[in-house]
Structure 1
Amino acid sequence: MVDSNFPAPLCGVDEAGRGPLAGPVVAAAVILPARQIPAGINDSKKLTEKTRARLYAEIRACAVVGIGVVEPEEIDRLNIYWATMKAMTLAVDAVTAALGQAPAHVLVDGNRLPRWDYSATPIVGGDAKSLAIGAASIIAKHRRDTLMIAAAELYPAYGWASNKGYGSAAHLAALREHGPTPLHRRSFAPVAQCDLAL
């Protein structure tokens, strides 16, 4: 893990939800404690839903956590890249507010950084190379999944409890039959095509 190469307090940042057709993009920023870090932190995509839920609770109990959420309407206005950068900035700003100072350094999963004043390093595949980024990936994914499961109760036809807003066959079929909801990203091609067809 690369975390020990950077000064403390070290903040890891990752996002969930760049690719779905519906729902927000969610970023998390996490500063883990120096000791007694929860066991099993890894890239959230390599963990089961049950394990993510357990680690989410354990990380929230011991770490400084910030979450940034950008909703579909703003994703359409900014585009998904800039919406993701905004979500990351909101997440680190929340950590800074909780700490009362900026983190000494921020590690961001990926190859790009938001336009901010934080000392930061992008790390491709960072959720598997940094415990702080791995923790952030778990927080972001679990929070976004929870939001989409709740949204599925309002719009049950689209199968969001299982597909989390991604373009599964069932989701695309429901889009064609029922059209987009307010939670759909109308700038994304499959949604825009359904808009035009209606």
Structure 2
Amino acid sequence: VAAACALPSSVAPIPGVGDSKTITDEAAREALYAQIVGTPGVVWSARVVSAARIDEINILMGSLQAMRESIVDVLEETKPTSAVALIDGPFSPWKEGPKYEAFQTPAAPPSVSLQVEPIKGGDAKVYCIAAASIIAKVTRDRLMHAYDSEWPAYAFGEHKGYPTPKHVAAISKHGPCAIHRRTFAPLKARALPPPTQQELERLEEISRKHSG
């Protein structure tokens, strides 16, 4: 999951908005999320890249794809002639070079002169990045609770997909479900079938419901 957020310069910062990793209480993140997306003039997008896609391109490229998609969503809605995209982390979503030619879509709208500025630790330094990180984290949490309802044997609502002992034990007992990456460490040494088309369609339905 990645998110982009454009905030009007006239809007005062919301107290408590900061690096989502430091906001450990889920209810507190939900409250901040509601304030951020409910602020007049705020434009945001959250995008989800499937486990199957990450298995194809790796987790970094999947993250950059979600970044590109969410940034382009915001640009298409706000329609600026020029913009600066401040990125959390060291990489531009549009990495240059022959190795990355397949990872340039979606491109920014041709009507926008876009400058991209990666910032290491940006979610702890830049307000709009912090706001986007909260949107992304809450979107992720909501997805995990939805997955928990769909596949209760794995307790996604508790560990949020991280490889905790309980999660790894559930995979060992039940095998993987549709949202498990086949390149996930406990699984990558095993020959496993990909998710079925029906499972992929259900995942897409859940993603559409809980992202924006």
Same fold per superposition (TM over 0.5) = yes
The aligned residue for residue 54 of structure 2 is 75
Return the match for 1:106 from 85, 96, 117: 85
Summarize the alignment of residues 15-164 of structure 1 with structure 2, pairs less than 5 Å apart: 26-34=1-9, 35-47=11-23, 48-62=25-39, 63-101=42-80, 104-115=83-94, 118-164=114-160
Runs of 5+ in structure 1 lacking a partner? 1-25
More divergent stretch after superposition (90-99 vs 112-121) = 112-121
Structure 1 residue runs of 4+, over 3 Å off? 193-196
CA–CA distance in 2 between the matches of 1:155 and 1:193?
Answer: 23
- TM-score, L = length of structure 2: 0.76
CA–CA distance in 2 between the matches of 1:194 and 1:56?
Answer: 39
CA–CA distance in 1 between the matches of 2:189 and 2:175?
Answer: 10
What displacement does 1:101 show? 2.9
Structure 1 residue identity aligned to 2:13: I
Higher relative contact order (CA 8 A, sep 6+): 1
Aligned residues: 171
The aligned residue for residue 187 of structure 2 is 191
Contact kept? 1:179, 1:195, Cα under 8 Å: no
Structure 2 residue identity aligned to 1:33: P
The aligned residue for residue 171 of structure 2 is 175
CA–CA distance in 2 between the matches of 1:122 and 1:59?
Answer: 22
CA–CA distance in 1 between the matches of 2:7 and 2:16?
Answer: 13
Contact kept? 1:28, 1:137, Cα under 8 Å: yes
Report sequence identity in percent: 41
